[in-house]
Amino acid sequence: MCRIGALKSRHYLHPSKALLLMQSQQKGHDNSGFAMVMQDLGGRFADYKKLPTLSLACTDKGLEITRELLRATGFRRVQEWQPEVNPIPGLDIQALANYAFQTFDYPESYRHATDREKEDLLTDTRLALRAALEPGEEGFVYSFWPDVITLKEIGDPRAIGTYFNLWQEDEEFTAKLITAQCRQNTNYEIVRYAAHPFFMQGYTALANGENTFYQKNKEFQSNLHRGYIGFESDSQCFLYTLHYLHRELGWPLSTYKHVITPLPFEDAVKRPDHEQLLVMRQSLAHLEINGPNTIIGVLPDNTLFTCCDAKKLRPVVVGRDADTVAISSEVCGINEVLPERDWEADIYPNEREIVIINDTLEVQRWNQ
Amino acid sequence: MEPVKINDLACNDLPWKIAYDPERCTLCGSCIAACTFDAIGPRMERRRMIYSDSETPDPKTLFSARPVIDQQNVLKNYCRGCGVCERVCPNSAISALRNPDSRFQVVHQCATGTAPKRGGRNNLEVQSRTLDTLRVGRISQMTDPSLDAQRHTFDCLAPLGRILPAKSLPLQLNAEGQLTQGGSTPPVRWIYPVIIGDMSIGALSWRMWEAIAMAVAYLNEECGLPVRMCSGEGGMPVRLLKSRHLKYMILQIASGHFGWNRIIQAMPHMVEDPAGVLIKIGQGAKPGDGGLLMAAKVAEHIQAIRGVPKTDLLSPPNHQGLYSIEESVQKMFLSFNAAFKFRVPVAIKVAASATSVSVFNNLVRDPYNIVGGFFLDGIDGGTGAAHDISLDHTGHPSVSKLRDCYLAAVAQGRQGQIPLWAAGGLGKTGNLAADAFKMICLGANGVFSGKLILQMAGCLGNDLGRCNACNTGLCPAGITTQEPVLARRLDPERVAENIVNYFLGMDMDLRKLMAPIGNSALPVGRSDCLVSTDKAVADRLQVQHVC
Ligand code: SF4
Ligand code: SF4
């Protein structure tokens, strides 16, 4: 079973904090992988907030394919960082030859393009790159977006931390928002793409649980957007639904809960907005999740939120101190990173609410 | 010795033979009175007894005449095997036995120039059913807990009405960033996923129809199950049209348009909208055969409700005047939508057929978004009158076709836009919950069922040729007759109670199937939770094959 966590802070945090958050929950996962998405970047990426960064794990040939494809599309590289690795013998990690985080400037022809056009270009480029790297498994491209970095690997999270030097705090590799998860061994095949957090166009989602409506979600989503592909994990569906509602339909976040876990009919009819609830439920019946799940999500404005299924079958806790909010499957994770906090103020979200942490770190609880 | 008249009809030509034991019979006459088909009658038999009344053998012959009960060897009055005589006989002296050597089909046609007709039952294909090779095989354990059928709440409702894609919904953000609804959307009713299928008040006795209506009202108002009933073609009593119970009724219009003058006249007086309008294009049991209500069944009250004289009432096989889907969508659907001012969902019922998917595709792509349900009826359904040849040799099962329609919708990203409702022999084995659940997993939003409701009312017929006399107006159970004496055999309150009890049991059974797959909402399209032990079925329906 997955364990998931998120940290959002006023200050830049080093990923060692995320490792710490997840480390104490290791009995709940199986130490089979580590994945994280860092957003609102500091350190060496702080000066490039408007430019897209590519997060890539690949073979040498993959690096070559990538360079060629991006060059042909017109992207101009402005920075590259390859983390220094510690290939100590005996480490439990299935490392690839290259891990590259490259920041690019948009093609010249996009100088006057709208944000939306640029965003579409980034997505199309990522999808093209993914397709180009797929034959022979030459590489994995996790995100290509401004101010976002993704790192995923198969192995023991501690070993992965050691391999990438993540235990060593520094000022150069930091972010104000980090989401992380420690399990690679999904119900299906072990594939790097199957590890959450999943990221798409500013949206991040990670989940603990089982999506029993996976097949319905997948069949429906496959037709909604060219970027809704992969489905290596049933939790990817949560990201696509979030993206579809918030970005494609332009609906507010509050509707997410209504779509994935609609109120029972008998409760919905008592509400003044029941007509609206009903049309949403009808039209998006195939996006309901109906299983045991807790979801952590991030919106493009770096709003962090969490919610769970309609029966609260998977746990999640939100804790905070003055500068940092932590979300975690188990409270022990928060105890590690925020030991001094007022734990009485911890929130255990119920089955009908979304807990939202906005960019000023204000915590709101929205009832469905 | 009698000459052999081989070309005369004999009882052993008929599908059922009467077994009669004169030793047990007290000649009370109950069986003769009860047989609605006049298939048995009294007759005198000459008996010869040899006896001896001396101490040494001295054979004498005694002739006597003895009244007995005997089977009629008249085509019109052939025994249907309904078993009513056996039920009423206090001495177990009579019963009907199936005649495996029946020559009925041939002699009937030779003698009358017409093939036999019968009440709609598929008697030819009675081998194992596709649905019985499917099981709910994905059981939630460990990673996703199964639910508790008794304790958890379940949300078992299904939509009837056209559902718009999310991008077409009239929802806008207001200044506060909240979503508000700016325009209207097509009407959608969320109802119980089992509709009581369309059996008209002419096909059924008024007492049977009333029993169903009573059961439906009780299920809605006392049990909280929003079950809907479809009127069938032929209208309904004006009193009901003007009552608040109309909201539980789906009004059907078929090619005969029977009863619609009354419905239209009642419109200004309606206090509730009906639950829906169902336009019947075809039915599964006798596709392409139209409807037929024999004059024998057109009693006075039926003439009043339908607005017709006493005559054979024929519904043509197709809607005269509609030649294409585009036309029917524009003319018929639009006019019925408009008649109720776009407040009532309008759905279509068609027979499963090799062309169902094309019809469905055309409707799901219709630009007016006015078709609010696709009712697909398969070969095993139907209770009306039909020729044997239609019942036995035409038609298409509904399971694979329902799946095809659902997958066609999936391929276009239009699943759910036109709710799919399926029928055709569902509940034939007695368990409608299991059949409904499997159809839902294959992509149906809900199912409808008629024949099983008759069984709940005490129908004596089955799919092995027993009774099947619904077309004659002589139903021995008082279900499909307009004869006051016969209709009185049926106790509407008992029937209503049976239907209510059956639905309550079925509702629990549905939860019992949803609980193990861990779902509290209907698993529409969740074919991943079905498995089949039959490889061909598994491949055809795209579910897992298990062995
Ligand atoms: S079985 Fe039915 S039809 Fe046949 S004789 Fe008995 S009552 Fe009449
Ligand atoms: S409904 Fe009546 S006539 Fe028809 S099969 Fe049943 S008992 Fe016989």
Buried b (16+ CB within 10 A) or exposed e, A347-358: bebeebbbbbbe
pLDDT per position as a tens digit, B232-283 = 888 888 999 999 999 999 999 888 788 888 888 999 999 999 999 999 888 8
Considering the domain boundaries, does residue B431 fall inside one?
A: yes
Tell me which ligand sits closest to the C-alpha of residue B483: 2
Question: Which of A264, A285, A310 is opposite residue B416, by nearest beta carbon?
Answer: A285
Degrees, nearest 5: CA angle A321-A326-A331: 100
Q: What's the confidence (pLDDT) of residue B61?
A: 95
- SS3 (DSSP) at A138: coil
Cα separation, B36 vs A72, in Å, equals 87
pLDDT reading at B320 higher than 70:
no
Q: What's the confidence (pLDDT) of residue A184?
A: 61
Considering the domain boundaries, does residue B123 fall inside one?
A: no
Buried b (16+ CB within 10 A) or exposed e, A79-95: eebeeeeeeeeebebeb
> Would you give the end-to-end CA distance of chain A in angstroms?
27
Same structural domain for residues B69 and B156? no
Give B39 Cα–ligand 1 centroid separation in angstroms: 6
Q: Which among B459, B466, B486, B489 is the best mutation to test ligand 2's pocket, defined by most ligand atoms within 8 Å of the CB?
A: B459
Task: Please write down the HEC assignment for all residues of B267-309.
Answer: HHHCCCCCCEEEEECCCCCCCCCCEEECHHHCCHHHHHHHCCC
CATH number at residue B67: 3.30.70
pLDDT per position as a tens digit, A69-89 = 999 999 999 999 999 898 888
Q: Which residue of A has its CA nearest to B517?
A: A212
CATH number at residue B457: 3.20.20.70
Tell me which ligand sits closest to the C-alpha of residue B383: 2
Cα separation, B286 vs A227, in Å, equals 47
Question: Which of B173, B520, B526 is opposite residue A216, by nearest beta carbon?
Answer: B526
**Residue A11 pLDDT class (50, 70, 90 cuts):** very high
> Would you give the end-to-end CA distance of chain B in angstroms?
64
Q: What's the confidence (pLDDT) of residue A209?
A: 85
Cβ B519–A223 below 8 Å, yes or no?
A: no
Same structural domain for residues B149 and B251? yes
Considering the domain boundaries, does residue B4 fall inside one?
A: no
- SS3 (DSSP) at A81: strand
- SS3 (DSSP) at A32: coil
Q: What is the mean pLDDT of residues A286-309?
A: 94
Instruction: For the beta carbon of residue B29, count every other beta carbon within 10 angstroms.
Output: 12
Question: Which of B144, B165, B188 is opposite residue A212, by nearest beta carbon?
Answer: B144
CATH number at residue A9: 3.60.20.10
Number of domains in chain A: 1
- If residue B347 lies in a helix (H) or strand (E), which one and from where to where? strand B346-351
Question: Which of A210, A278, A286 is opposite residue B415, by nearest beta carbon?
Answer: A286
Tell which of A208, A213, A282 to mutate to test the B interface (max B CBs under 10 Å): A282
Phi and psi torsions of A152, nearest 5°: -140, 140
Same structural domain for residues B79 and B109? yes
Cα separation, B265 vs B339, in Å, equals 12
Considering the domain boundaries, does residue B358 fall inside one?
A: yes
Cα separation, A83 vs A44, in Å, equals 12
Cα separation, B418 vs B409, in Å, equals 9
Average pLDDT, chain A: 92
C-alpha distances in Å from residue B286, one per residue of B108, B384, B418, B540: 20, 9, 25, 24
CB B81 within 8 A of CB B16: yes
pLDDT reading at B391 higher than 80:
no
Q: What's the confidence (pLDDT) of residue B498?
A: 97
Range of the domain at B284: 133-161+189-514+522-545
Cα dihedral B489→B491→B492→B498 (10° resolution):
-120
Q: What's the confidence (pLDDT) of residue B321?
A: 67
Q: Which residue of A has its CA nearest to B180?
A: A276
Cβ B144–A210 below 8 Å, yes or no?
A: yes
Q: What's the confidence (pLDDT) of residue B389?
A: 78
Q: Which residue of B has its CA nearest to A263?
A: B155
Number of domains in chain B: 2
- Which atom belonging to ligand 1 lies closest to the Cα atom of B40? 5
Q: Which residue of A has its CA nearest to B154?
A: A264
Cβ A187–B143 below 8 Å, yes or no?
A: yes
Same structural domain for residues B140 and B107? no
Q: What's the confidence (pLDDT) of residue B188?
A: 96
Give A153 Cα–ligand 2 centroid separation in angstroms: 68
pLDDT per position as a tens digit, A238-277 = 999 999 999 999 999 999 999 999 999 999 999 999 999 9
C-alpha distances in Å from residue B272, one per residue of B192, B262, B269, B319, B412: 19, 16, 9, 28, 36
Phi and psi torsions of A204, nearest 5°: -125, 145
Q: How many C-alpha atoms does B449 have within 13 Å on its Cβ side?
A: 28
| Chain B positions with Cβ closer than 8 Å to A | 140, 143-145, 147, 152-153, 155, 157, 159, 163-167, 169, 171, 173, 177-181, 185, 188, 190, 410, 412-413, 415-416, 517-521, 523-528
pLDDT per position as a tens digit, B406-444 = 999 999 999 999 999 999 889 988 999 999 999 999 999
pLDDT per position as a tens digit, A169-196 = 999 999 999 999 987 656 667 788 888 8
- Which atom belonging to ligand 1 lies closest to the Cα atom of B81? 1
Considering the domain boundaries, does residue B182 fall inside one?
A: no
Looking at per-residue pLDDT, the higher value among B142 and A285 belongs to A285
pLDDT reading at A156 higher than 60:
yes
Residue B543, both tokens: 């579910």
Cβ A276–B518 below 8 Å, yes or no?
A: no
Question: Among all chains, which residue has been given the structure tokens 């039959």?
Answer: B534
Rg of chain A, C-alpha, whole Å? 20
**Distance, in angstroms, between A1 CA and closest chain B CA?**
7
Q: Number of A:B CB contacts under 8 A?
A: 109
A276 interface with B at CB cutoff 8 Å: yes
Considering the domain boundaries, does residue B20 fall inside one?
A: yes
Instruction: For the beta carbon of residue B332, count every other beta carbon within 10 angstroms.
Output: 20
Same structural domain for residues B349 and B415? yes
Task: Find the residues whose C-beta lies inside 6 A of ligand 2.
Answer: B 82, 119, 454, 459-461, 467-470, 475-477, 479-480
Q: Which residue of A has its CA nearest to B406?
A: A219
pLDDT per position as a tens digit, B52-72 = 999 999 999 999 999 999 999
Same structural domain for residues B109 and B216? no
Considering the domain boundaries, does residue B169 fall inside one?
A: no
Question: Which of B147, B415, B521 is opposite residue A220, by nearest beta carbon?
Answer: B415
Taking CB atoms and an 8 Å cutoff, what residues of chain A touch B157? Answer: 265
Cβ A262–B145 below 8 Å, yes or no?
A: no
